Structure 1
Amino acid sequence: MTTSVTDDQLAKLTRLLDRQEIQDALTRFSRGMDRFDRDLFLSAFHDDATIAAGDFVGGPADLFDWASAMHEAGQYATHHNLLNLTVDIDGDTAHSELYYLFVGRNRDDSNWIAGGRYIDRLERRDGQWRIALRTNAIEWSGLVPTMPIPFADVPDIQVNGTPSRSTEDPSYTRPLLNKRAPNIPS
């Protein structure tokens, strides 16, 4: 039995693949910032992109330098969590709105949380979807009460790797293996 793909199905599949490539680019920004992985971060943007974030307005390389220094000075760890995503694709240009939740463990052991939206224009150039223009709409911010980090007293908690703001983070380990002994707490 032979099945054929209709033009409508092919168009939907193409749109879905484009949307996934756009989402992948947006995720590279987030992970690159949290892991201080400059190459990964920059791979989310076209070299000539413009980004407006807080009091920063400029290009991707300068944004990475500014933001990583700010986060290094201010936080032990950051999480740029990506949430609702809408994407409007028109040929080789797309506009997206991506809700985010930022959480930072500050160096004074307080926790900072903020939310907003990344509003982007992405362009496909040489077959690659990347951010060409970004506006960061910060909509709220606050401090969350500090509590001890769970399981910090477990002796072998970091045998599989220590969280790091670098490519030494366990998320880069290939293949990922478990080195901890079996243990079922009573």
Structure 2
Amino acid sequence: MYVTLDRALTASAHDRAAVVAELRDRAEIIDALHRFGLGQDLKDRELFASAFAADAELDFRPAAARWGAEPALMTGREAIVTTILAMFADRVDTTHQITNPRIVVDGDTARLTALVEAQHLLVTDRTTHALLKNPYDVDLVRDGDRWVIRRLRIDNSWYTGNPGAIFG
């Protein structure tokens, strides 16, 4: 599930063009996850949608199972964007911090693992919150000069607060 290579880059240090290409890919791969987080935080539909492939899949079931919820698997960029933004619209404020990214690139596909800390606060009652520490397992595909998420699986290491009040 996790990227556990013993180094960041696979390109030979003597092949500068390959190193530059791999560094560009890695920056664009991480940016896809940043677009995912910031798009939610800003409630910016266009930015959030830009993180996903048209046939993307988002699996929040492993995380939600930690507090007894059973959400559906989300499939398709439009369904993912509509579902998540509608769930939080005018009701929940979020902030996402993304750390510990590990990446492996294989041609036009890539795998990313990261830790994401996601804070959720009810707009009408700031004392109702959920702070989640979630390992992300992400498959991505090249989309021109950028990368987009094809499959995102979100697990949960720990949480505080009341996720049931946030996610329903």
The one-letter amino acid paired with 1:44 is A
Per the alignment, residue 64 of structure 1 pairs with 81
Residue 105 of structure 1: CA displacement?
Answer: 1.9
**Larger of the two Rg values belongs to structure:** 1
Offset, 1:125? 3.3
Report which structure shows greater RCO (CA 8 Å, sep ≥6).
2
Counterpart of 1:42 in structure 2 is 49
Instruction: Please state how far the C-alpha of 1:138 moved relative to its aligned partner.
Output: 2.0
Q: CA deviation at 1:59?
A: 1.9
Q: How far apart, in 2, do the equivalents of 1:139 and 1:59 lie?
A: 26
**Structure 2 residue aligned with 1:109:** 126
Question: Does structure 1 residue 32 correspond to structure 2 residue 50?
Answer: no
SS of 1:108's partner is coil
Opposite residue 60 of structure 1, the aligned amino acid is R
Tell me what 1:137 maps to.
Answer: 155
Out of 81, 84, 96, the position equivalent to 2:112 is 96
Q: TM-score, normalised by structure 1?
A: 0.68
Q: CA deviation at 1:73?
A: 5.9
Gaps of 5+ in 1: 1-5, 145-186
User: What do residues 71-108 of structure 1 show as CA deviations (whole Å, max 9, x unaligned)?
Assistant: 23642x21011111000011111000011001122232
SS in 1 for 2:126: coil
Number of aligned residues? 138
Q: Which has the larger share of helix?
A: 2
Given the alignment, which residue of 16, 20, 39 partners 1:13? 20
Using structure 2 for the length normalisation, give the TM-score.
0.75
CA apart distance, 1:24: 1.2
Of 130, 139, 142, the residue aligned with 1:124 is: 142
Q: After superposition, what is the alpha-carbon deviation per residue over 1:31-75, rounded to whole angstroms, capped at 9, x for unaligned?
A: 111111111111111111111123131222212222122223642
Q: What is the identity percentage for the equivalent residue pairs of Structure 1 and Structure 2?
A: 30
Unaligned runs of 5+ in 2: 1-12, 62-70, 163-168
